[in-house]
Structure formats: C-alpha cells, structure tokens
C-alpha cells in the first residue's frame, strides 16, 4: 500500500482528535461529577434518573405529610387524654354523690366542681392545631363547641396522603368524643342538683362508664395510627435513602474509574503526539545531498 | 542512412520529455496539500521508428527515434469515488440530525433540577400542601404561583421547539443557496471539460475539480452522479436532474417551506445529505415532539379542570376551570383563580377544612390521563425518545465519519502525493535529462571531428 505524507498527517490528526475528544469527555465527567448530562448519554439511565428524582421529591413530601399528621394526632391525643382525666374525676364525683352522708351542701359543691369540669371539657373540645379546630371535622375554622355544647355536625374526615394513594385519617369528631362527656357531666349536675341518688348510681354512672370506654378506645385508636405513621415514616426514609443512592449510581460519575480512564487516555494522547512528531518530520529530502 | 544530426534530435526529444516529466513531478509536489487533487503521471512512449532499407544483412531494419510524452494521466479509482459520495451523503444527513437533536437536548434541559419535570414536582407539592392546609390563603397563593410556573414551562418548551423549526428553515435556505451555487459551478466545469476533451486534451485538474464539486453536492443534497459523455457528469437530486452537461436546474424554498425545482411544478425530495437531515427534523421529528408537549399539556388541562369543577372553593362555591387554554401554546392559570386564590376549589364538600379535591388534583401525575399513561410516564417516555434518537444520530454519524475517513485513506493511498516518491521521480528524470544532454555532447564532438578534422588529407 502506498502511504503518502498527507495520509500520515491526516491519520495522526484524526487519532489525536479522537484522543482529545475522549479526554474532554472524561474531563467534563470529572469536573461536573455527572456521567449523564444529556438523555443521549444514556436514555435508560435518564429515565431512571427522572423517575428517581421525582421519587425523592415525593418521599420528601410524604415525609412532611406524615410529620404534619403526627403533630395533628399528638394534639388530638393530648386533648382526648385531658378529656379522659376530666371524666375520671367526674366518675369520682358521681361515686361520692351516691354516698348519702355528704348531704345537700356536699352535693352542691360537687355540682359546682362538675360545672368547672364541663367548662374544661368545652375548652378541650375547642383545641386548635395552629389556627384550626381539631374536633370540628371539615369545619376547621368554626368553634365546634359553645357553652351550650356541640355546634354543627363535626362531620368529615381529614386525611393525609402518606404514601402513593395511601390515606390516613387524622381527625376524630367532637360529637363522638367530647360531646358524650359533656352530656354525661350535664346529667351528673342534674342528678346532683335533684339529689337523685338512683340516677347517680344508675343512668349517670352508666353514661360516664360508656364515655370512659369511648375515650379509651379513641386513645388507643389514635395510638395505633401514630404507630402506623412512624412505621410509614421509616419506610419513606428508607425509600428516599435508597432512591438517592440509586440516583447517584445512575447519574454521578464514579471518580476512581473516571480518574483511571483519564490517566490512561492521557498516556495514549501523549504517545500519539510523540509518535506523530517522530514520523512526520523526516523525508527523503533530509537524506539527499 | 540517417542524418548525422539525427542523434541530436533523439536527445532533444529525450530532454523535452524528461523536462515535461519533471514539471509534472513539480506540479504534484506543488499540489501535495490541495484538497481533491489526484497525483498525475506522465506516460512516455517511443516515437515511431524509422525503417531503413538494405542497411545490413537483412533487407530492412527499424531504428528507434526517441521518446515522446503520450499522455499525462491522473491516478484515481472511480469505485472509491462512488463509495465516498454515498458515505458523504449519509454523513451529511446524520451529522445534521445529530447537531439538531443535541440542540433539542440542551433546550429541554433534562435530567436537571431546572426542567419541566422539576416544575411538575413543585406543582404537585403545592397541591399536596393545599390538601393539608385548604384553609390557608398563603398556600393557595403558592398553588397559583406553581401552576403559573407550570404553564410558563409548557409554553416555553413549545416555543423553543417552534423557534428551532424556524432556525432550521434558515439553515435550509442557506444550504439551498450553497447547492445552487455548486450546481452552477459544476455545469461550468462540465462545459470546460467537454471542450478540452473534444480538443483531445486530458483535463486532469478540471476533472479533480468536477469530482470535488460532485462530492460536495452528495454531502449537502445527497446527490447521485452518473458519468456522461466526454468525461462530464450528470447529477440527480431525489430523482430530479440538478446538473446535466452545461445545464443546471436551481432549487427554491417556497414560503410554505417546501422545496421546488425553479420554473417547474415539481417538488424536490432529497433522500440523503444535509438537506434531507434538515427536512426530516423539520417535518417529522420536531413536530412530533411539539405534538407530545401539546398532548401532555392538554391532558393536564382537562384533568385539572374536570377535577377542579367537581370541588368547592374556600367560600363553598362550586369550582370552575383551573387552567384556560387547550394546549402547550396557550395554557395559563384561569384569570378568575389568579385574581382570587380563594376560588381554588380544594374542598369536596364545601367545608373549608376539606382538602380532598386538592388531593385528587395532586394525583394528576399518577392517573393514566395522557392516552393511557400517567403524566410522569409520558414525560419520561418523551425524554427517553429524544435520548434514543439523539444517541442513534450520534452513533451513526460517528460510524459514517469513520467510513468516510477510511475511504479517504484508501483514496489518498491511490491518488495522494507522496513527497518521497515525487523527489525520487524527480531524481530519475533529472538523471535521464542529464544523460540526454550528454548524448548531445557526444554528437557534438562527433560532428566536430567530421567538420574540423576531416578533409585535411595532404594539407
């Protein structure tokens, strides 16, 4: 095969260009720290990167939703347990009222204490989280309890999305929890004022017992949701962590590998240059007299 | 019997031929770096012999009369030219596609935290926040802002792609100008070649020029050429005649973007070359990308509006449209909502604390609303599609580049000028020239003997 001067020069130039292109590519990979800059660098990797980035944003959002749900539930749990302790005191009053020895004056004092407890219950029923009433159902901006008792229906579930399509209900209705306690206190006050011993030990005591059951059941249900939420939170954190790791593997350059490749490419480049410098220079003219 | 001066004539012819050959070597050396130049070789042949009668034992003998230059040929392989033109046409097409698709990739800016995906994420987050705090006016304002960013992102993506189409049209216009000029030049070269050939010359340098122009047309317009009489060429683009002999046909770009043969009612349909690459991108690839963006935007608009209409705003009034517009070109947040964020219908019941409709709106990215796919899946498919196209274009243009280089290498091996070789040839001819000069000297001395020293007998 004939090999001409420009063949040598062209081949040399094209080899050097290839080397330079590879060097620039690796250099960019090192300085940007990314191996996918454009979808064409790796279409499948790009799809994964897009999916993982959105996944991370989603888990962050769901984590924030869970945190918010936990706060809301904690507020509710505190309010329900306060209500429960009020009702326990109410039960003590009812038991005391049955005792015939305490007399009229004693029952009046008990009735007064019960009235104070009733105020406390109404206040508890108006517990807010931020500026929202937690017991009012969807009517979060309207006071669910007035002095006379419950206002409105307290209807509506408040949900938080804690995973893709997974909803957790975070509210309990005031009508179902606080209102029975207020009614029980009302009946106690009525019975104390009427000195209705039979009612005190009968219907009043029964309603108090039933309220205690309801509140206890609500508390354990709230506790259950808290446990569910913290498990979900852990899972979201794990998903986020593994997604971040996967994203980094997909999108980020492996530094050890990139540096090694760069070094090898650099040698190849220098070798091409020095070989070119030797082969291009001499010609027959150098050896003619 | 031949004249005593005959030897001088032989040597003169030799000196003449060797000098010509040295000139050709010089021409080769001078054009060692000229693009498209093929080295030239002198072919020498003996001049017709003289027939002498009764000069020896035989009746007649033939006496050589020296040398003459028969022809100066260019060393070239037509098959490699054919291959080179085919490879150049494909290279032109794929390089153009690669360049435009790289531009598309840069414009859509994925994967990053600044592309459409990120805006979709942020809009979704704001709707989630609204589901958590349907009462909050601050959150409602954020939703309007994020929805506005989403609308802007859609319009921006569509606009840059539309602008890309107009910039491709500018490139096509420039390329057409180049093709027309080259066609005109080629027709002129064809004519010069024809004249030279008819006059019995071999127009080597003109043929090099002709081949260079044909190859240029192959790259830009995917032109196919066929050899015609008298070493001229016939050049076709998409089946239509661009150059034939000294005639050429011009191409024009109409205002509707189609290519037409000037003065004819026929459109030009290039099958390869840069023009074909531009046309494919302008007429198929980019419009389909724009269509995808429009489909995506239209799906988001219709899902958001339908969901929003099923809800109630902060004051309990039924929801209206969330977005106005019908595609990526005109999507915008409804001015009613933009003016009063309270009008966002987040509630499913009319109660202010209910965020269930906001939550359903937030599902715009998971629900299969874009021709059976979710917004996320559709968008990822869109990006992957661009990635695959661009990767293909990169790979094929790199392959074609290697092929072109390989053919160029082979062609250079045959037609290229080797300085070593030319210097050696130069020495060869120089020696022959010197020897021929010496031959003249010898005859000169012989004549001197005849003229100066003969006929002095007895003096």
The model's pLDDT over B244-283, given as tens digits with 9 standing for 90+, comes to 999 999 999 998 889 999 988 889 999 999 999 999 999 9
Residue A35 has what pLDDT? 87
pLDDT of B94 higher than 60: yes
The residues with which A168 forms a beta bridge, in sequence order, are A160
Specify the pLDDT at position B457.
66
Contacts of B379 in chain A (CB under 8 A): 50
Give every CB contact of residue B420 below 8 A, 6+ residues apart in sequence: A5, A283, A284
Q: Do B353 and A138 touch (CB under 8 A)?
A: yes
Give the up-direction half-sphere exposure of residue B372: CA atoms within 13 A in the CB hemisphere. Answer: 0
Lowest mean pLDDT among A53-62, A188-197, B310-319, B353-362: A188-197
Q: Please confirm whether the linkage preceding B394 is cis (ω < 30° from 0).
A: no
* Continuous segment of H or E residues that includes residue B44: strand B40-46
Provide mean pLDDT across the span A116-133.
93
Beta-carbon contacts of A34 under 8 Å, excluding residues fewer than 6 positions away, are: A251, A252, A253
Q: What pLDDT score was predicted for residue B55?
A: 59
Closest listed residue to residue B332, CA positions, set B360, B358, B297: B297
**Which residues are CB-neighbours of A176 under 8 A, at least 6 positions away?**
A154, A214, A218
- Is the model's pLDDT at B111 over the cut of 90? no
The structure tokens 């996320």 sit at B376
pLDDT, tens digit, 9 for 90 and up, residues A148-194: 888 888 888 999 999 988 999 999 999 999 999 999 999 999 998 88
Which residues of chain B neighbour A36 with C-beta distances below 8 Å?
A: 111
Which of A16, A40, A154 is the best residue to mutate to test the B interface, defined by the most B CB atoms within 10 Å of its own CB? A40
- Residue B5 confidence (pLDDT): 85
* Inter-chain residue contact A61 with B420, CB threshold 8 Å: no
Residue A15 with chain B: CB contacts under 8 Å? none
Local structure of residue B319 (DSSP, 8 states):
P
Are B67 and B46 in contact by the 8 Å Cβ rule? The answer is yes
Residues in chain A: 289
Task: Select from B122, B152, B159, B150 the least CA-distant residue to B289.
Answer: B159
Asked if the model's pLDDT at residue B141 lies above 70, the reply is yes
Asked if pLDDT for residue B459 goes beyond 90, the answer is: no
Chain B: give the shortest CA distance to residue A34, in Å.
Answer: 11
Q: How confident is the prediction for chain A on average, in pLDDT?
A: 91
Question: Which of A46, A54, A140 is the closest to B387 by Cβ?
Answer: A46
CA–CA gap between residue B53 and residue B72 (Å, rounded): 35
**Residues on chain A touching B108 (C-beta within 8 angstroms):** 39
Backbone angles phi, psi at A257, to 5 degrees: -65, -45
Give CA separation, A257 vs A35, A260, A269, B87, in Å: 11, 5, 18, 36
> Are A7 and B413 within 8 A, CB to CB?
yes
Closest by CA to A265, choosing from A15, A13, A19, is A19
Enumerate the H helices of B199-252 as residue ranges. 204-221
pTM: 0.85
Q: Is the pLDDT of residue B370 over 70?
A: yes
List, for residues B29-67, the tens digit of each pLDDT value. Answer: 999 989 889 999 999 999 999 888 765 666 788 889 999
A7 touches chain B (CB under 8 A): yes
Nearest to A46 among B363, B365, B383 (CB): B383
Interface residue A31 vs chain B (CB under 8 A): no
Contact A4 B128 (CB under 8 A): no
- Residue in chain B closest to A252 (alpha carbons) equals B111
Does the beta carbon of B380 lie under 8 angstroms from any beta carbon of chain A? Answer: yes
Q: What does the pLDDT average to over A111-125? A: 93
3-class SS of residue B260: strand
CB contact B406 to A (< 8 Å)? no
Please tell me the distance from the alpha carbon of residue A283 to that of residue B97, in angstroms, as a whole number: 42
> Is the CB of B354 less than 8 angstroms away from the CB of A138?
yes
Interchain CB contact of A164 with B (< 8 Å): yes
- Which residue in A14, A38, A51 is closest to B380 by CB distance? A51
B360 CB near a chain A CB, below 8 Å?
no
Average the pLDDT over A257-263 and give the result: 92
CB contact under 8 A, B366 and A165: yes
B106, B383, B420 ranked by CB distance to A50: nearest: B383
Chain-chain contact of B417 with A5 (C-beta, under 8 angstroms):
yes
| Residue B30 sits at the chain A interface (C-beta within 8 Å) | no
- CB within 8 Å of chain A, chain B residues 52-111: 101-102, 105-106, 108, 110-111
Contacts of B128 in chain A (CB under 8 A): 61, 65, 161
- 8 Å CB contact of B424 and A158: no
Measured CA distances, A224 to A64, A136, B209 (Å) = 19, 21, 88
A280 pLDDT tier (thresholds 50, 70, 90): confident
pLDDT at B1 over 60: no
What gap in Å lies between CA B420 and CA A284, rounded to an integer? 5
Q: What is the pLDDT of residues A49-106, one digit of tens each?
A: 999 999 999 999 999 999 999 999 999 999 999 999 999 999 999 888 888 778 888 8
Taking contacts as CB-CB distances below 8 angstroms, the residues of chain A near B32 are 5-6
Token pair 């893709």 in the structure block, residue: A164
pLDDT bracket for residue B3 (50, 70, 90):
confident
A140 contact residues in B (CB cutoff 8 A): 135, 351-353
Mean per-residue pLDDT for B383-404? 94
B248 CB within 8 Å of a chain A CB: no
Identify the pLDDT of residue B454: 81
Which residues between 126 and 145 in chain A have a beta carbon less than 8 angstroms from any beta carbon of chain B?
Answer: 131-132, 136-141
Q: For residues A70 and B132, is the Cβ–Cβ distance under 8 A?
A: no
Name the residue among A217, A222, A191 with its Cα closest to residue A206.
Answer: A191
Measured between beta carbons, the chain B residues lying within 8 angstroms of A50 are 110-111, 117, 379-380, 383
Task: State the pLDDT at residue B309.
Answer: 95
Cβ pair B250, B266 in contact under 8 A: no
Tokens at B86, concatenated: 């085919």
Contact B175, B275 (CB under 8 A): yes
The answer to whether residues B397 and B97 touch, using CB atoms and an 8 Å cutoff, is yes
Buried b / exposed e across B295-323, counting CB within 10 Å, b at 16+? bbbbbbbebbbebbeebbbbeeeebebbb
Query: Percent of chain B at pLDDT above 90?
Result: 83
| Chain B interface includes A265 (CB < 8 A) | no
- Contact list in B for residue A160 (CB cut-off 8 A) is 131-132
pLDDT bucket at B456, cuts 50 / 70 / 90: low
B125 touches chain A (CB under 8 A): yes
Does the pLDDT at position A119 exceed 60? Answer: yes
How much is the mean pLDDT over chain B? 92
């Amino acid at each position: 095969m004939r090999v001409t001067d420009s063949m040598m020069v062209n081949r040399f130039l094209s080899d050097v260009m290839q080397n330079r292109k590879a060097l620039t590519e690796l250099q960019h990979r090192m300085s940007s720290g990314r191996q996918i800059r454009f979808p064409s660098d790796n279409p499948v990797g790009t799809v994964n990167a897009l999916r993982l980035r959105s996944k991370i944003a989603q888990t962050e959002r769901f984590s924030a939703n869970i945190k918010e749900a936990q706060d809301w539930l904690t507020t509710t749990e505190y309010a329900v347990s306060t209500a429960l302790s009020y009702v326990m005191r109410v039960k003590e009053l009812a038991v005391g009222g049955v005792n015939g020895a305490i007399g009229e004056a004693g029952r009046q004092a008990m009735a007064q204490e019960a009235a104070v407890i009733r105020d406390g219950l109404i206040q508890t029923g108006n517990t807010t989280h931020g500026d929202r009433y937690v017991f009012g159902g969807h009517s979060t901006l309207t006071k669910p309890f007035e002095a006379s008792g419950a206002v409105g229906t307290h209807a509506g579930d408040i949900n938080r999305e804690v995973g893709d399509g997974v909803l957790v209900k975070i509210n309990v209705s005031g009508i179902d929890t606080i209102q029975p306690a207020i009614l029980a206190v009302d009946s106690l006050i009525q019975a104390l004022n009427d000195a209705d011993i039979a009612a005190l030990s009968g219907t009043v005591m029964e309603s108090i017992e039933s309220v205690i059951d309801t509140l206890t059941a609500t508390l354990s249900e709230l506790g259950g949701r808290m446990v569910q939420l913290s498990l979900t939170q852990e899972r979201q954190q794990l998903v986020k962590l593994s997604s971040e790791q996967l994203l980094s593997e997909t999108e980020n350059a492996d530094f050890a590998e990139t540096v090694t490749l760069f070094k090898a490419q650099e040698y190849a480049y220098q070798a091409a240059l020095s070989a070119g410098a030797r082969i291009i220079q001499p010609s027959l003219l150098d050896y003619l007299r | 019997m031949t004249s005593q001066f005959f030897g001088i004539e032989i040597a003169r012819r030799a000196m003449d031929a060797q000098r010509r050959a040295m000139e050709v070597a010089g021409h080769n050396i001078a054009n060692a770096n000229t693009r498209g130049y093929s080295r030239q070789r002198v072919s020498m042949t003996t001049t017709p012999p003289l027939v002498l009668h009764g000069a020896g034992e035989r009746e007649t003998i033939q006496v050589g009369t020296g040398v003459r230059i028969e022809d100066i040929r260019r060393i070239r392989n037509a098959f490699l030219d054919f291959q080179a033109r085919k490879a150049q046409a494909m290279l032109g097409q794929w390089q153009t596609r690669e360049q435009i698709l790289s531009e598309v990739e840069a414009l859509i800016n994925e994967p990053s935290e600044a592309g459409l995906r990120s805006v979709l994420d942020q809009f979704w987050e704001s709707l989630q926040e609204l589901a958590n705090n349907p009462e909050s006016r601050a959150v409602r304002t954020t939703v309007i802002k994020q929805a506005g960013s989403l609308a802007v992102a859609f319009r921006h993506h569509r606009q840059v792609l539309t602008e890309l189409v107009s910039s491709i049209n500018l490139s096509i216009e420039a390329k057409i100008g180049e093709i027309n000029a080259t066609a005109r030049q080629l027709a002129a070269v064809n004519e010069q070649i024809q004249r030279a050939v008819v006059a019995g010359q071999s127009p080597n340098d003109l043929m090099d020029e002709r081949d260079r122009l044909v190859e240029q047309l192959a790259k830009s317009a995917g032109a196919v050429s066929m050899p015609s009489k008298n070493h001229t060429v016939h050049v076709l683009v998409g089946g239509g005649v661009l150059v034939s002999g000294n005639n050429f046909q011009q191409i024009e770009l109409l205002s509707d973007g189609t290519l037409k043969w000037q003065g004819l009612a026929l459109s030009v349909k290039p099958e390869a070359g840069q023009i074909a690459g531009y046309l494919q991108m302008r007429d198929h690839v980019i419009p389909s990308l724009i269509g995808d963006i429009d489909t995506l935007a239209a799906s988001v608009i219709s899902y958001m509006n339908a969901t929003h209409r099923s809800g109630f705003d902060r004051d309990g009034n039924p929801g209206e449209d969330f977005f106005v517009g019908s595609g990526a070109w005109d999507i915008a947040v409804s001015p009613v909502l933009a003016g009063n964020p309270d009008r966002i219908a987040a509630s499913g019941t009319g109660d202010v604390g209910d965020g269930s409709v906001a939550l359903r709106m937030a599902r715009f990215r998971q629900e299969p609303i874009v021709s059976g796919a979710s917004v996320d899946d559709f968008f990822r498919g869109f990006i992957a599609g661009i990635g695959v196209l661009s990767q293909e274009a990169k790979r094929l243009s790199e392959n074609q580049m290697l092929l072109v280089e390989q053919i160029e290498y082979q062609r250079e091996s045959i037609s290229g000028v080797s300085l070593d070789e030319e210097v050696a040839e130069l020495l060869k001819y120089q020696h022959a020239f010197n020897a021929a000069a010496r031959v003249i000297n010898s005859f000169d001395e012989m004549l001197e003997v005849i003229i100066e020293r003969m006929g002095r007998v007895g003096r």
